[in-house]
């Protein structure tokens, strides 16, 4: 059987293909968990394909077995959404043939074959080389010419000769000379349908005019969303990428600088293998702009001036006493859902309810990373809070770049409702869409049960990201606290959770990305205290304290937020009033390096004016995720609570991957 009869059908088309980096652990072994996270992140940002173990992937530093592990994982994690091209560069024909066969076994869609290096091959030798590869290859082949690495200048006429002889087994070329005139010359001489990948994403207009079908780009490994948008014609993103590319092109160690840039952006790139991990200090100093995403340099914090005296909420020494104490007697810990290999490994934002004699739980679930495209809302139910049903999705996995986040349940007129929000972009995941915009196309939706399914119901609220479930205010109105797309703290207030009369009120506005006194206030939770509503707020600007705003008119207007003395690890918390009149707050009250590795329950016996008790619920100084994923945090995250049958039930997500429920007798707190 000839190669033409058994060659794999070609999925490779034009577009933006990302040349992925290869992350290494501290001991220089492959960090496959980090690589999985990068694949999921990159594909979710809307690129057209992946190149794995190419030049940017440090193929020169990889064994064949390591390349195969990367190829298999890329194919598995991309789940057919984009083609995977294997970098099969080698110095000999024999080695290249083995690598191409291995790439085919791993499920790759094409092989990118670099011109052999070390010895400069003649045009005749290159023709012979690619002819042998094409005749034996089970994969379509992309030629790869990069003279800056191989020091081989392959003439256009010689490339065209190979293309004419071997097309369609050889389907195209990556010409990394970054020369539009050269791309135009190649286009004139090669057969119709022969693909040309050349140029950077921000140069798409010029290279498209020259006949290039797309580009295979290294910078897109760090900025895939911005690169995809620049490639599609976004002038602002193109201008930003042009500046970043100018810095990278001047680097004597592009891969190391690119990885350093990615690490600054919380992308788990690691370092190159030694000795290629060293970056000249001058290059690092010249690259501060690489630390900013999407072209949007964060606005400078306004002059804070003297801050007001913190409001006293916490009895002195409670945090230290909590760390030294044992958990309350009668505490139970139950797993609702455990992340597993091959399933949703990111689980977060859990919320619970009790309705119809059953417990209900809902949470956000993603394949690998936080708030990435394809994220769905899951739900499960239990007769007793200990034995839980198999989780099911509320909606089908969304297409394109849509993602969903769970926002909780509510009960009205005897019916159980659910809240979830959707959006197409998150700045902390995809980069900036617009200055100071955290989410794009943000909408809150309501769901009711219809048989065994959840269906959309009632009014959708634009520009609201709820922080917790809707709750009823004294007097009967409902409130849904959260943030809007510009991260301003807001609340929707109306006669019912999904009514037409819901109005958004602002609690803490932002200016240049900052709120009052240079804070970044977010993720509110509330309780009633002495006839007023008290809204406590997380501060992302580093104060490690909760802030307080109050309303004396049922939530229609709010006071300027002021700091409190209540410590916070910069995390989500939940406050509520118990049936006996006490106020409880569950969260991560760690102002130090412990951060979220302590989950604690604070109790106020005077209606929420001050908290005189703090109970340790879960404490593990060394807990860490089992699976890699972007934005995962070591600890016990984002609690939610309810009171039922004499117990306080607290749901949380350890390390943003498992879903757990704690329960403690109310009498023990």
List active site positions: 144, 174
In the chain, how many H helices and how many E strands?
15, 36
Closest by Cα among 288, 369, 285, 300 to 42: 369
Which runs of consecutive H residues, i.e. helices, occur in 359-510?
427-430
Query: Vertex 266, ends 264 and 269: CA angle to 5°?
Result: 85
Radius of gyration in angstroms for the set of CA atoms belonging to the chain, rounded to a whole number: 28
Q: Which residues, at least 6 apart from 306, have a Cβ–Cβ distance to it below 8 Å?
A: none
Q: Is 361 exposed, middle or buried (0-12, 13-18, 19+ CB in 10 A)?
A: buried
DSSP output for 489-527: EEEEEESSTT-TT-EEEEEE--BTTB-GGG--EEEEEEE
Query: What tokens appear for 573 in the block?
Result: 């918390």
- Whether 588 and 598 have beta carbons less than 8 Å apart is answered as yes
Q: How far apart are CA 16 and CA 201, in angstroms?
A: 7
Q: Of 491, 472, 567, 584, nearest to 535 (Cα)?
A: 491
Give the torsion sign (CA, 216, 217, 218, 224). Answer: negative
Q: How far apart are CA 371 and CA 428, in angstroms?
A: 9
Q: How far apart are CA 383 and CA 441, in angstroms?
A: 37
Query: How far apart (Å, rounded) are the C-alpha atoms in residues 142 and 111?
Result: 6
Q: In the chain, what is the straight-line distance between the N-terminal and C-terminal CA atoms, in Å?
A: 76
State the Cα–Cα distance between residues 201 and 204, nearest whole angstrom. 5
Question: H-helix or E-strand containing 261?
Answer: helix 254-264
What φ, ψ does residue 3 adopt, rounded to 5°? -60, -35
> How many CA atoms are closer than 13 Å to the CA of 625, on its beta-carbon side?
26
């Amino acid at each position: 059987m000839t190669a033409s009869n058994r060659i794999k059908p070609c999925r490779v088309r034009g577009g933006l293909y990302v040349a992925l980096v290869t992350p290494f652990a501290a001991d220089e072994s492959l960090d496959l968990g980090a690589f999985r996270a990068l694949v999921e992140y990159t594909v979710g940002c809307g690129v057209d394909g992946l190149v794995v173990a190419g030049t940017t992937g440090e193929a020169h530093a990889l064994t064949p077995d390591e390349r195969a592990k990367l190829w298999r994982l890329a194919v598995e994690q991309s789940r057919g959404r984009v083609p995977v091209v294997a970098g099969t560069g080698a110095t000999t024909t024999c080695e290249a043939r083995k690598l191409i066969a291995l790439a085919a076994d791993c499920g790759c869609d094409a092989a990118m074959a670099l011109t052999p290096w070390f010895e400069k091959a003649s045009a005749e030798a290159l023709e012979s080389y690619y002819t042998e590869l094409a005749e034996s290859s089970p994969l379509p082949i992309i030629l790869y010419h990069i003279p800056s690495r191989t020091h081989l200048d392959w003439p256009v006429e010689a490339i065209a000769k190979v293309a004419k002889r071997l097309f369609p087994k050889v389907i195209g070329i990556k010409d990394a000379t970054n020369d539009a005139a050269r791309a135009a010359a190649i286009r004139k001489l090669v057969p119709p349908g022969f693909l040309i990948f050349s140029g950077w994403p921000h140069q798409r207009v010029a290279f498209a005019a020259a006949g290039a079908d797309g580009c295979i780009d290294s910078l897109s490994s760090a900025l895939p969303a911005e690169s995809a948008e620049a490639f599609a014609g976004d002038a602002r993103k193109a201008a930003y990428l042009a500046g970043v590319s100018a810095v990278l092109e001047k680097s004597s160690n592009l891969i190391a600088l690119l990885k350093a840039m990615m690490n600054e952006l919380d992308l788990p790139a690691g370092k190159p293998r030694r000795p290629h991990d060293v970056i000249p200090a001058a290059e690092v100093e010249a690259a501060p702009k690489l630390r900013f995403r999407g072209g949007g340099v964060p606005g400078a914090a306004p002059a804070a001036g003297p801050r007001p005296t913190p409001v006293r909420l916490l009895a002195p020494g409670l945090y230290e006493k909590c760390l030294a104490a044992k958990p309350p007697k009668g505490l139970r810990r139950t797993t609702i859902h455990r992340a597993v290999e091959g399933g949703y490994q990111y689980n977060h934002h859990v919320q619970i309810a009790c309705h119809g004699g059953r417990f209900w739980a809902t949470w956000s679930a993603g394949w690998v990373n936080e708030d990435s495209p394809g994220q769905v809302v899951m739900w499960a139910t239990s007769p007793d809070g200990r034995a839980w049903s198999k989780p099911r999705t509320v909606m089908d996995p969304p297409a394109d770049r849509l993602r969903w986040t769970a926002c909780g349940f509510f009960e009205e007129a005897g019916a159980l409702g659910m809240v979830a929000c959707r959006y197409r972009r998150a700045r902390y995941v995809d980069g900036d869409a617009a200055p100071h915009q955290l989410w794009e196309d943000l909408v809150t939706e309501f769901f009711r049960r219809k048989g065994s399914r959840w269906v959309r119901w009632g009014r959708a609220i634009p520009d609201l990201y709820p922080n917790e479930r809707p709750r009823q205010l004294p007097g009967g109105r409902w409130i849904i606290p959260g943030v809007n797309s510009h991260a301003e703290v807001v609340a929707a207030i109306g006669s019912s959770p999904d009514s037409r009369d819901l109005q958004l009120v602002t609690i803490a506005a932002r200016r240049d990305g900052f709120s009052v006194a240079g804070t970044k206030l977010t993720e509110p939770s509330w309780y009633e205290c002495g006839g007023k509503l008290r809204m406590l707020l997380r501060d992302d600007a580093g104060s490690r304290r909760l802030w307080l705003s109050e309303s004396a008119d049922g939530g229609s207007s709010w006071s300027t937020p002021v700091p409190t003395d209540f410590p916070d690890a910069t995390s989500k918390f939940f406050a509520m009033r118990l049936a006996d009149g006490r106020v409880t707050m569950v969260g991560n009250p760690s102002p130090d390096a412990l951060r979220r590795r302590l989950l604690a329950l604070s109790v106020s016996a005077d209606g929420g004016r001050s908290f005189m008790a703090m109970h340790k619920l879960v404490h593990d100084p060394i807990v860490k995720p089992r699976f890699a994923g972007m934005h995962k945090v070591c600890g016990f995250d984002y609690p939610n609570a309810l009171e039922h049958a004499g117990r306080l039930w607290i749901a949380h997500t350890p390390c943003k991957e498992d879903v757990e429920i704690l329960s403690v007798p109310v009498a023990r707190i």
